[in-house]
Amino acid sequence: ASGVGATLDVDALPAGPALARQPRPLRRRFSAAGGDDYELCYTAPFEARAAVLAAGRQTHTAVTRVGVVEAARGLRLVDAGGCALDLTLPGFDHFAGD
């Protein structure tokens, strides 16, 4: 394990048309931990942000910043305004301690 954590902006996660029409609490829950819509998730240094966005434009690939990796262990879920969300999510916790 990498020994790091992350803060994830649940409202920034891409949502398909069917999910986007759902009430916000349901949309947040399923965006963060449900369904079978998949996106590629990766990390890049802050300094590479412009290059990542440029690569997305050049390849006609949508690129969305959804969070930040941090030194503090654990996963923190926030809304678009940065306020903490209390969501209990099913599934594997990639940021749990060993």
The answer to whether residue 33 sits within a structural domain is yes
Residue 35 near residue 28, CB atoms below 8 Å: no
Number of domains in the chain: 1
CA–CA distance, 97 with 30 (Å, rounded to integer): 24
The answer to whether residue 71 sits within a structural domain is yes
**In terms of residue numbers, what domain contains 46?**
5-78
Tens digits of residue pLDDT in 3-50:
899 999 999 998 889 888 999 988 888 888 776 667 788 899 999 999
Q: Please tell me the predicted confidence (pLDDT) of residue 32.
A: 80
Mean pLDDT of 78-90: 84
3-class secondary-structure state, position 52: helix
The answer to whether residue 89 sits within a structural domain is no
The answer to whether residue 90 sits within a structural domain is no
